[in-house]
Amino acid sequence: MTTINPKAPVLVTGASGYIASWIVKYLLEAGHTVHGAVRDPAKKSGLEHLHALSKQHPDRLKLFKADLLVQGSYDAAMEGCELVMHTASPFVISGFSDSMEALVRPALEGTRNVLEGANRVSSVKRIVLTSSVVAIHGDNIDSLNVPNNTFTEEHWNSTSTADHQPYPYSKTVAEREAWAINSKQSRWDMVTINPGLVLGPTLTKSSDSASMGIMKQLVGGMMFPAAPHLQMGLVDVRDVATAHIKAGYTSTAKGRHITSAGNPTMLQLGKLLRKRFGNKYLFPFMQAPKAMIWLIAPLAGMTRKYISLNVGYPTRFDASKSQRELGMKYRTTEETVCDHFQQMLNDGVIKRRG
Catalytic residue ranges: 171
By beta-carbon proximity to ligand NAP, the closer residue of 78 and 88 is 88
Q: Within 10 Å of residue 119's Cβ, how many Cβ atoms? A: 14
Binding mask 69-108 for ligand NAP (x = CB under 6 A): x-----------------xxxxx--------------x--
Residue from 117, 166, 168, 195 in contact with ligand NAP (CB under 6 A) = 195
By beta-carbon proximity to ligand NAP, the closer residue of 18 and 249 is 18
Binding of residue 63 to ligand NAP (CB under 6 A): no
Residue from 209, 260, 315, 333 in contact with ligand NAP (CB under 6 A) = 209
Binding of residue 268 to ligand NAP (CB under 6 A): no
Binding of residue 109 to ligand NAP (CB under 6 A): no
Region class of 95: left (phi > 0), else alpha (psi between -120 and 50), else beta: left
Binding of residue 176 to ligand NAP (CB under 6 A): no
Binding of residue 165 to ligand NAP (CB under 6 A): no
Binding of residue 173 to ligand NAP (CB under 6 A): no
Binding of residue 250 to ligand NAP (CB under 6 A): no
By beta-carbon proximity to ligand NAP, the closer residue of 50 and 227 is 50
Binding of residue 117 to ligand NAP (CB under 6 A): no
* Contact footprint for ligand NAP (CB under 6 A): 14, 16-20, 38-39, 67-69, 87-91, 106, 130, 132, 171, 195, 197-198, 207-209, 211
